[in-house]
Amino acid sequence: MGTVNGVVSFWHAQLGPPVKRARLATSTSVDVCIVGAGLTGLWTAYYLKRASPSLSIAVVEREFAGFGASGRNGGWLSAAVAGSLDRYAQRRGVEAARHLQRTMIDAVDEVIRVAHVEGIDADIVKGGVLRVARSSPQLHRLRDSVAAAERWGDPHATLSGEASRARVNVEGAVGASFSVNGARLHPAKLVRGLADVVAASGVVIYESTPVVEIRAHEATTPFGEVRAQFVVRATEGFSAALPGLHRLWLPMNSSMIVTAPLADAVWDEIGWREGETLGDSAHTFMYAQRTADNRIAIGGRGVPYRYGSRTDRRGETAPVTIRELQQVVADFFPALRDVDIEHAWSGVLGVPRDWCASVVFDRATGLAAAGGYVGHGVTATNLAGRTLRDLILGRVSELTQLAWVNWRSRKWEPEPLRWLGVRSLYLAYRAADRSEASGRSDTSRIARVADIISGQ
Ligand SMILES: Cc1cc2nc3c(=O)[nH]c(=O)nc-3n(C[C@H](O)[C@H](O)[C@H](O)COP(=O)(O)OP(=O)(O)OC[C@H]3O[C@@H](n4cnc5c(N)ncnc54)[C@H](O)[C@@H]3O)c2cc1C
């Protein structure tokens, strides 16, 4: 059987085409207009409507709910902070950075709680996060990251190679870190389920309705204006296409493949019984999950960035990227060298110049936004949604004091510098991974330089 390429994502394909909601028919006025029906937009709508049922809320979506990264991701519901805690601490103080980490840990349980009370079955299993090291430099970096996580209040256990392989039998694993603060889920089940809950609560979701411009108190579409006291931009990796935002967040691609369901005998060999999410410590890292129907879904960077911030082709993925990810499967699990790859897809995520996510709000213009999660948005979107609720309702809460509120990152360089820079960085990271795999004992100097240039 051939590999299905694109069609948005395997997760959506598994559920069948979504039944599209109506598009905006004519200009309208509401209290809050949210642009984008991914997790950021939907969590914001969910918490606002629950806190203030009389608010009129419209979500305006170009395609359908969950079309973006929210319906395509690796399904890691993790407590990783979307940004550098050191950087947040430098500007906002150490305690503020710690607080952000604590609230992210709590947000993992909050997503699980809401899914449960709202009856959203998203295959959630809180099996923790296992990150393996497969070389000596990777092990050094892993230990450094465990020490850093500890400092910020996110405890991780360190596992020996043997203990790591007893959990998930990754070829060549010499050690691992493990955190209980993580769960695996089915992204499309979560985002579509949340959209249904939000719509049932009285929020109107307009689909097939592109917003072409956002101004104070107004979002413009080809079918009319949505006027509102507050307009929330929740377009993450697609934001560069909106007027004035070209250099705000770089749209970075991430690609995934999924295997056919694997036989029990193969799972006996591999282990992976607890629903852990699995990652590694390479510079061009991989992320994976064992799905509820016993496949491996695995992702990595692919072609990281297209010239001029061009984003999406409905998830279509370059054949070379599919081959590379297939090779990762074979390297990690040699028994799967010839396994069928059923589906490949890609998506875009938003990367700020300093890699720090933000929630921004301006009462005077009514403009708000959240994003820039750099591939850690599944949990962060929930926290952002609750934070936007409090900011819009004028509540002063511990969420409105979070380090990422009204965080400003500088703009990306204009083209062609941006394209050249990002391409070179990823070539450098790949070279560093190759050099480390060939037996050096410390982190490659190429990667250290790339880290400094990229601002990571
Ligand atoms: C392949 C991949 C794997 C990932 N894996 C993980 C993971 O395992 N764990 C994790 O934490 N994070 C992961 N991420 C990141 C995570 O998915 C995102 O951070 C998160 O989903 C962002 O949600 P969002 O709602 O802000 O954006 P999106 O989900 O991208 O939603 C934005 C929405 O806005 C709509 N839109 C855009 N422009 C307009 C417009 N002009 N008018 C109207 N609507 C518009 C889009 O159609 C889209 O539906 C991954 C991302 C990708 C691409």
Task: Give the β-pairing of 76-78 and 249-259.
Answer: unpaired
For range 20-49, the mean pLDDT: 98
Question: CA 277 to CA 181: how far, in whole Å?
Answer: 11
For range 54-65, the mean pLDDT: 98
Q: Which residue among 70, 104, 358 is best mutated to probe the pocket of ligand 1, counting the most ligand atoms within 8 A of its Cβ?
A: 70
Cis peptide bond upstream of 416, omega within 30: yes
Across the strands, what pairs with 214?
219
Nearest to 42 by CA among 250, 196, 240: 196
For range 187-206, the mean pLDDT: 98
Q: Is the CB of 74 under 6 A from ligand 1?
A: yes
Across the strands, what pairs with 175?
133, 160
> Does position 451 have pLDDT exceeding 70, yes or no?
no
Confirm if 97 and 89 have CB atoms less than 8 A apart: yes
Q: Which residue among 23, 62, 249 is best mutated to probe the pocket of ligand 1, counting the most ligand atoms within 8 A of its Cβ?
A: 62
> Does position 453 have pLDDT exceeding 60, yes or no?
no
Structure tokens at 417: 């510098």
Ligand 1: centre distance to CA 285 (Å)? 19
Residue 143's SS3 state is helix
Across the strands, what pairs with 225?
220
pLDDT for 446: 61
At what angle are helices 377-392 and 39-51 packed, to 10 degrees?
40
Structure tokens at 390: 């409090």
Structure tokens at 219: 């979002």
Ligand 1: centre distance to CA 171 (Å)? 32
Across the strands, what pairs with 130?
178, 278
Average pLDDT, rounded, for the chain: 93
Question: How many separate helices (H) and strands (E) can be counted in the chain?
Answer: 12, 19
Query: Residue whose CA is closest, atom 22 of ligand 1?
Result: 377
Ligand 1: centre distance to CA 295 (Å)? 23
Confirm if 302 and 284 have CB atoms less than 8 A apart: no
Instruction: Classify residue 384 as left (phi > 0), alpha (psi -120 to 50) or beta.
Output: alpha
Q: Is the CB of 186 under 6 A from ligand 1?
A: no
Give the DSSP letter string of 25-81: -S-EEEEEEEE--SHHHHHHHHHHHHH-TT--EEEE-SS-TT-SGGGTS--EEE---
Q: Is the CB of 351 under 6 A from ligand 1?
A: no
Question: CA 418 to CA 453: how far, in whole Å?
Answer: 12
Which atom of ligand 1 lies at the shortest distance from residue 39's CA? 25
Lowest mean pLDDT among 22-26, 104-108, 141-145, 428-432: 428-432
> Does position 134 have pLDDT exceeding 70, yes or no?
yes
> Does position 301 have pLDDT exceeding 80, yes or no?
no
pLDDT for 370: 98
Ligand 1: centre distance to CA 348 (Å)? 7
Residue 5's SS3 state is strand
> Does position 308 have pLDDT exceeding 70, yes or no?
no
Residue 226's SS3 state is strand
Question: Which run of H or of E encompasses 311?
Answer: none
Give residue 435's pLDDT band: very low, low, confident or very high (50, 70, 90).
confident
For range 108-129, the mean pLDDT: 98
pLDDT for 300: 87
Q: Is the CB of 317 under 6 A from ligand 1?
A: no
Measured at the CA of 323, the angle between CA 319 and CA 327, to 5 degrees, comes to 170
Question: CA 110 to CA 190: how far, in whole Å?
Answer: 13
Q: Is the CB of 38 under 6 A from ligand 1?
A: yes
Ligand 1: centre distance to CA 334 (Å)? 32
pLDDT for 66: 98
Question: How much is the pTM?
Answer: 0.95
Which atom of ligand 1 lies at the shortest distance from residue 242's CA? 41
Contacts of 311 (CB under 8 A, 6+ apart): 237, 238, 240, 241, 251, 348
Give percent of the chain with pLDDT exceeding 70: 91
Instruction: Count Cβ atoms below 10 Å from residue 213 Cβ, excluding itself.
Output: 12
Q: Is the CB of 37 under 6 A from ligand 1?
A: yes
Alpha helices by DSSP H, listed for 178-273, are 187-200, 264-270
Count of alpha carbons within 13 Å of 320, Cβ hemisphere only? 4
Lowest mean pLDDT among 78-92, 145-159, 425-439: 425-439
Could you identify the residue written with the tokens 């991989």? 286
- Which pLDDT tens digit goes with each residue over 226-276? 999 999 999 999 999 999 998 899 898 899 999 999 999 999 999 999 999
Q: Which residue among 20, 61, 212 is best mutated to probe the pocket of ligand 1, counting the most ligand atoms within 8 A of its Cβ?
A: 61
Which atom of ligand 1 lies at the shortest distance from residue 42's CA? 25
Question: CA 76 to CA 222: how far, in whole Å?
Answer: 36
Instruction: Classify residue 128 as left (phi > 0), alpha (psi -120 to 50) or beta.
Output: left
Which atom of ligand 1 lies at the shortest distance from residue 379's CA? 11
Q: Is the CB of 83 under 6 A from ligand 1?
A: no
> Does position 208 have pLDDT exceeding 80, yes or no?
yes
Question: CA 404 to CA 372: how far, in whole Å?
Answer: 11
